[in-house]
Amino acid sequence: MNILIISQNFPPDIGGAAIRIFGFAKELSNLGNKVTVLCANPIYPRGEIHLGYKNKFFQKDKSFVGFDAYRSYIFPVKPDSSFIKRLFSYFSFVILARFNLSKISKKFDIIIICSPPLFVSLIGIKAKRYFKANLYLDITDAWPESAVATGFMKKGILFKFGEKFEKWIYSHCNYFLASADAIKTHLLSKGVEENKITLVYDAADIELFEKPVDTLFLRKKYNLEHKFVVGFTGLLGFAQDPSSIVKVANFLKDYRDIFFLIVGDGGKRKEAENLANQLNLKNIKFVGQIPRKEIPQYTKLFDVCLVTYKNEGLFRTTIPGKLFDYLSSQKPIIINLEGKAADIILEARAGLVARSNDTQDFANKILEIYKNRKIGKEMGKNGFKYVKIYYDRKVIVQKLNDLLLKTIV
C-alpha cells in the first residue's frame, strides 16, 4: 500500500502523539508499505524550532530511514500563548500543508490524519479528494473537550463552534482509529457509526527498551551512585502537573538517598523548576529534552517511575505513552490518578496508585517501594511480561495494516 500520514507533530517533537505516529510510520513501512509523512517543522513543546532544523516553507526531512517525511512551515507559539495565537499557528500549518500536498507527487491508497489538533483534518479532506483515497482519522484526544481540560478554552461560543466543526469533520472521514475506549465512546456520542471505529491502542517499543544499557555514565554524571532514583520522562505540560512531583520531592527531602530526576520539557517546566528553587531542594534535577533513542538510558537508571496527572476527568481516560516505556524498562510505576492508566498498572501488577491531590500518599507510595526493593523488582518483571503480551507495537500495527488492506478503494 501507499500510505500518507498527516500529523502536525512528529519527532523530534516530544509527547505521546508524536511517538505514536512515528510508530505507525516505522512499523507500516517495515511491513512493506510505502509510507509518506507530511508534518510541521518541529517546534513542540517549547515553540522553538528544534536544533538542526529551519522553519522552511517546505522541505524533505532526510533523518528517517524506511519512509519519506516532508515538513511544512508552522508559525511558532510559546506554551503560554493564548488560544487565539494557537489557532493562528494551527492554521498556518493547515494552509501551507494543503498547498504543499501538490508537491508530493504520489498516488496514495490510504490517508491517515492525526488529531489533535483537529484542524489538521482539513488537510486530510483535501488529500482525500486529491488522491481519491479513503480517509482515516486517528484520535488521541477528543477536541474541543481536551482544549477545555487543559485550560486553553472555556465552554462558550467558541466551544460550541468547535463542537459543530468537530461533527462536520467527522462527516468527511471514512473510518476512525481510537487510541482508547473513551475515545470510541466519544465518537459514538457524536453519531459516528460503530462499524467505522477501530480501537488502536498506544503501544510499547519493546525492541528499543529490551536492549542492555549501561547506566554507570549517567550515575556518575548526575552524582547518583548509591541513590534511589525516582524518575519521570516526557512532556511537562498542564496535564502532567510537574509541580506535583516537586511537592513530593519536598516531602521526601530528608531522605538523603532518594533523588528525583525529571527528563523532558514543556509549558509547565519553568513553573516547576521555580518551585523547586523556592523550596531550595537539592534532591531534584530537571534534565530537559533528550532524543527518543536515549530514553532507555534514563528509564533503566530509575528505581521507580512516575506518571503524574492533574485531577481532571478527561485525564482519567488517558493512557500516556510513557507508561509503555516504563513497562518495557521493567520498572515499578506509581501514578497519582485513578483511571484507565491506573487500571493497566494494577492489572499488570506493575506498580501502585496514589490518591489524587494527596502529596503525602504519593510520597508514601514511593517509600513503599523504596523500603521493599525486591517487591519493586517483581513489579518491573510483571509489567514487562504484561506489555509484551498486550501492547507490543509490532503486533498492534500488524492488525492496523490488515485493517487498512481491507479498505483500499
| pLDDT value of position 315 | 85
Q: What is the rounded distance in angstroms from the CA atom of residue 329 to the CA atom of residue 319?
A: 17
Q: DSSP code of 232?
A: E
Q: Is the confidence at residue 156, as pLDDT, over 90?
A: no
Residue 86 banded pLDDT, cuts 50, 70, 90: confident
Q: Is the confidence at residue 193, as pLDDT, over 90?
A: yes
Q: What is the rounded distance in angstroms from the CA atom of residue 269 to the CA atom of residue 348?
A: 30
Overall average pLDDT of the 156-170 stretch = 83
Q: Is the confidence at residue 146, as pLDDT, over 90?
A: no
Cell 516530544 sits at which residue?
Answer: 14
Question: Per-residue pLDDT tens for 306-321?
Answer: 999 998 887 888 889 9
Overall average pLDDT of the 65-90 stretch = 89
Q: What is the rounded distance in angstroms from the CA atom of residue 272 to the CA atom of residue 310?
A: 14
Q: For the domain 206-390, what is the CATH code?
A: 3.40.50.2000
Helix residue ranges, H only, 269-372: 269-278, 295-299, 321-328, 340-348, 359-370
| pLDDT value of position 401 | 97
Lowest mean pLDDT among 10-24, 53-67, 152-166: 152-166
Question: Per-residue pLDDT tens for 281-297?
Answer: 999 999 999 999 999 99
Q: Is the confidence at residue 327, as pLDDT, over 70?
A: yes
Q: DSSP code of 32?
A: T
Q: 376 by DSSP, 3-state: which?
A: helix
- Amino acid identity of residue 251, one-letter, is F
| pLDDT value of position 192 | 94
Q: Under CATH, what is the fold of the domain 2-203+393-406?
A: Rossmann fold (3.40.50)
Q: DSSP code of 233?
A: E
Residue 80 banded pLDDT, cuts 50, 70, 90: confident
The helix (H) or strand (E) run that includes residue 61 is: strand 58-61
Q: Is the confidence at residue 225, as pLDDT, over 70?
A: yes
Which grid cell is 337?
490518578
Question: Per-residue pLDDT tens for 373-392?
Answer: 999 999 999 999 999 999 99
Q: Is the confidence at residue 195, as pLDDT, over 80?
A: yes
Characterize the bridge pairing of strands 2-7 and 304-307.
Answer: unpaired
Q: Alpha carbon 312 to chain centroid distance?
A: 18
Q: What is the rounded distance in angstroms from the CA atom of residue 321 to the CA atom of residue 360?
A: 26
Let me know: does 230 contact 332? Beta carbons within 8 Å.
no
Overall average pLDDT of the 206-230 stretch = 92
| pLDDT value of position 149 | 64
362 to 238, 263, 356, 357: CA distances (angstroms):
19, 19, 8, 9
Residue 84 banded pLDDT, cuts 50, 70, 90: confident
Name the average pLDDT for the chain.
Answer: 92
Q: 174 by DSSP, 3-state: which?
A: coil
Backbone conformation region of residue 130, classed left if phi is above 0, alpha if psi is from -120 to 50, else beta: alpha
Characterize the bridge pairing of strands 58-61 and 68-72.
Answer: antiparallel
| pLDDT value of position 153 | 60
CB-side neighbour CA atoms (13 Å) of 18 = 19
Domain with CATH 3.40.50.2000 in the chain: 2-203+393-406, 206-390
Let me know: does 237 contact 244? Beta carbons within 8 Å.
no
